[in-house]
Amino acid sequence: MKYTNLPHTDIEVSKICLGTMTWGRQNLEEEGHQQMDYALEQGINFFDTAELYPIPATKERYADTERIIGNWFKKKRNRDKVILASKIAGKAEMTKFIRTTGINRESIKSAVEGSLNRLQTDYLDLYQLHWPDRTTNYFGKRGYKHSISDHWEDNIHQILETLRDLVREGKIRHVGISNETPWGAMRYLEESKVHASLPRMITIQNPYSLLNRLFEVGLAEICHRENLGLLAYSPLGFGTLSGKYLGDRKPENSRIALFPNYNRYSSDTAVKATQKYFELAQANDLSLAQMALAFVNSRPFLTSNIIGATTMDQLKENIGSIDVELSEEVLKGIEAIHNEIPNPAP
């Protein structure tokens, strides 16, 4: 395994992070425990979860993923072996069964307490805002369009004050953002610069893959100049970049087969790009999944690459990508495809 530091800290994390959002929906608790056992054996010490998981979110299964992880900690007594990240869900139609008030002082405190109880731990190493309350371009929106119905009031100072208090109480160690825009990232960073007592956002968890490199447009420069670390999610585009859906295939129990509305990475253009990446991988004796993950692993703005798997074979292949070094020929081939079909899956 290879390791990096969470920015602005001495906390060493594996460059591959174990994602957990299928546990409790596509994976049973026992399977989640098996994945954590194997990941830890392979040197992965960084796990990412959220109060919202498993996905798709439902009232009946709400926060089951955190409970699965908490039961594993209780059984293994190894909380000190893991750098643990979780998230508070923002205001949205799909989260109204959790809360309707959005992210504020009361909801943050309540969410943290809930996560700590379910995870059976006294602290979280990294606590993230899952997405902004304001209306902006996240979750598949290519560009920003102002909405007259967006009545968001800037409460970023209050959010940071609340997170600061939780840091002082020892309940969280560091904070991050997720599904954020360049404006949002800089707004948080500047607020903590102006008010030195407020915690600094150290990571941003956004989508990044061969099919979606929009992160490079504005956020990559912020990562470089502000030392903000990317935690890349969906590096395989809901499994699309494994190649298993090519030829109109829909394997039984696969994510797209079970949840056809999760079509963010399945447009005709995205399929065309995936086919080209598949052919490039085949021509260089690589699996498409490992080439796609190795590309993400190689990015200079990456802190950790969040992988997810529903089978142990998938997990082993994904973790194995850390040992794959892409040649200049492959990297040039990737850029040629990207220039021809840029960002087909925002």
How far is 326 from 102, CA to CA, in rounded Å?
43
**Do the beta carbons of residue 86 and residue 50 sit within 8 Å?**
yes
The answer to whether residue 11 scores a pLDDT higher than 90 is: yes
**Do the beta carbons of residue 223 and residue 229 sit within 8 Å?**
yes
Element (H, E) at 206: strand 201-207
Q: Write the CA distances from 226 to 19, 128, 178, 185, 231, integer angstroms.
A: 25, 18, 16, 10, 15
What share of the chain in percent tops pLDDT 70?
100
pLDDT digits (tens, 9 = 90+) for 16-32: 999 999 999 999 999 99
Q: How many residues does the chain have?
A: 346
pLDDT digits (tens, 9 = 90+) for 87-140: 999 988 889 999 988 999 999 999 999 999 999 999 999 999 999 999 898 888
Q: Give the pTM.
A: 0.96
- At 276 the pLDDT is 98
Region 192-215 average pLDDT: 98
Region 327-338 average pLDDT: 98
The CATH fold of domain 3-340: TIM Barrel (3.20.20)
pLDDT digits (tens, 9 = 90+) for 275-324: 999 999 999 999 999 999 999 999 999 999 999 999 999 999 999 999 99
> Domain limits of the chain?
3-340
**Do the beta carbons of residue 59 and residue 97 sit within 8 Å?**
yes
| Paired strand residues for 17 | 306
262 catalytic, yes or no? Answer: no
pLDDT digits (tens, 9 = 90+) for 236-279: 999 999 999 999 898 888 888 889 888 889 999 999 999 999 99
Mean pLDDT of the chain: 96
Choosing from 3, 38, 53, 265, the catalytic residue is 53
